[in-house]
Structure 1
Amino acid sequence: MARLDPPVRARAQRLTTETLRHLGALDALLGQHLAHMPPLPVLNVLRIAAYELLAGEAAHGVVNSAVTQIAAMPRHNRAKGMANAVLRKVAGAGMSLADLPASRIPEWLRDPLVMAWGDEIVAACEAVQSRPAPLDLTPREPSTTKTLAETLNATVLPTGTLRIADNVQVTALPGYETGEWWAQDAAAAIPVRVLNPQQGEKVLDLCAAPGGKTMQLAAAGARVTALDISAPRSERIAANLARTGLSARTVTGDALEFTETGWDAILLDAPCSATGTLRRHPDLPHARDGSEIGALIALQSRMIDHALSLLKPGGRLVYCTCSLIPDEGEVQAEEAIARHPGLTADRAALDLPGLDPDWITEEGGLRLRPDLWSDLGGMDGFYVVALRRPR
Structure 2
Amino acid sequence: MLMTHNSRLAAFDLLKHVFSKKLDLEEALNRSVTYKALEAKDKSFARMIASTVLRRYGQMLALINQFKDHPEPLHPQDLELILCVGLAQILCMRTPAHAALNETVNLCEILKLSKCKGLVNGILRNIDRDGRVLFDAMSNDMCMPTWLYESWQRDYGSEQAQFMAEACLKEAPLDICVKNREDISIWQENLGADLLPTGALRLKENVDVTELQGFQLGAWWVQDFAAQIPAKLFGDIRGKNILDFCAAPGGKTMQLASMGASVTALDRSVSRMQRLEENTVRIGVQSAVEVVVADVLNYNSQKLYDGVLLDAPCTATGTIRRHPDLLHLKSQKDVQRLSDLQHKILEKAATFVKDGGMLIYATCSLQKQEGEDVIEAFLAKNKSFKRQKIEAIELGGLTQLITPLGDLRCLPHYLKDQGGMDGFYAARLVRIA
Which of 149, 152, 161 is the matching residue for 2:188?
A: 149
Q: Which amino acid aligns with 1:217?
A: L
* 2:54 aligned partner: 20
**CA 1:187–1:87: 2 relative to 1, 3 Å:** same
Equivalent in the alignment of 1:42:
79
Q: Secondary structure at the match of 1:264?
A: strand
Q: 1:131 to 1:165 in 2, by over 3 A?
A: farther
Distance 1:97 1:255 in 2: 50
Select which of 282, 293, 314 maps to 1:243.
282
SS of the residue corresponding to residue 347 of structure 1 reads coil
Q: 1:200 aligns with which of 227, 236, 239?
A: 239
Change (3 A) 1:275 1:348: closer
Q: Which consecutive unaligned segments of at least 5 residues does structure 1 have?
A: none
* Residue type of the alignment partner of 2:229: I
- State which of 313, 316, 320 in structure 2 corresponds to 1:274: 316
Once residues 379 and 5 of structure 1 are traced to their aligned partners in structure 2, the CA distance between those partners, rounded to angstroms, is 31
Deviations 1:56-114 (A, max 9, x none): 2122222112212123444x433211211221233335959994653531112111111
Q: Quick check: 42-51 or 23-32, which moved more?
A: 23-32
Q: Kindly, what percent of the aligned residue pairs are identical?
A: 35
Which residue in 2 is equivalent to 1:176?
215
Q: Superposed, which structure 2 residues align to 1:58-207 within 5 Å? A: 58-74=96-112, 76-93=113-130, 95=132, 99=136, 101=138, 102=140, 103-207=142-246
Amino acid at match of 2:274: E
TM-score by length of 1: 0.94
Change (3 A) 1:95 1:354: farther
Taking a change above 3 Å as real, the CA distance of residues 194 and 137 of structure 1, as seen in their structure-2 partners, is same
Structure 2, unmatched stretches of 5+, are 1-31
Q: Which residue of 1 aligns with 2:394?
A: 352
| Corresponding residue for residue 386 of structure 1 | 428
Which of 307, 310, 315 matches 2:357? 315
1:5 paired with 2:38, answer: yes
Measure how far apart 1:297 and its partner are: 1.1
Secondary structure of 2:47's match? helix
Query: Normalization by structure 2: what TM-score?
Result: 0.85
> Alignment partner of 2:202: what SS?
strand
Give the 3 Å change call, closer, same or farther, for CA 131–116 of structure 1 in structure 2.
same
Range with greater deviation from structure 2 (245-254 or 178-187): 245-254
**C-alpha RMSD of the superposition:** 2.0
Does the 8 Å contact 2:390/2:402 carry over to 1? no
1:229-378 mapped onto 2 (5 Å cutoff):
229-247=268-286, 248-260=289-301, 261-348=303-390, 351-378=393-420
Q: Is the 8 A contact 1:194 1:350 kept in 2?
A: no
Indicate the SS of the match to 2:432. coil
SS of 1:227's partner is: strand
Which residue of 202, 207, 219 corresponds with 2:258? Answer: 219
User: How big is the shift at 1:6?
Assistant: 5.0
Q: Name whichever of 199-208 and 344-353 sits farther off.
A: 344-353
Cα contact 2:246–2:266 (8 A) shared by 1: yes
Between 22-31 and 198-207, report the one with greater CA deviation.
22-31
Distance across 1 between alignment mates of 2:203 and 2:283 = 20
Give, in whole Å, the separation in 2 of the partners of 1:329 and 1:289: 17
Give the letter for the 1:254 counterpart.
Answer: D
Query: Does 225-234 or 189-198 show the bigger shift?
Result: 189-198
Q: Which structure features the higher share of helix residues?
A: 2
In structure 1, C-alpha distance between the alignment counterparts of 2:203 and 2:382, rounded to whole Å: 43
Number of matched residues?
390
Aligned partner of residue 171 in structure 1, secondary structure? helix
Does structure 1 retain, via aligned residues, the 8 Å contact 2:339–2:369? yes
Alpha-carbon distance between aligned partners in 1 of 2:131 and 2:191, rounded to the nearest angstrom: 35
Q: 1:381 to 1:14 in 2, by over 3 A?
A: same
Partners in 2 of 1:12 and 1:222 — Cα distance? 42
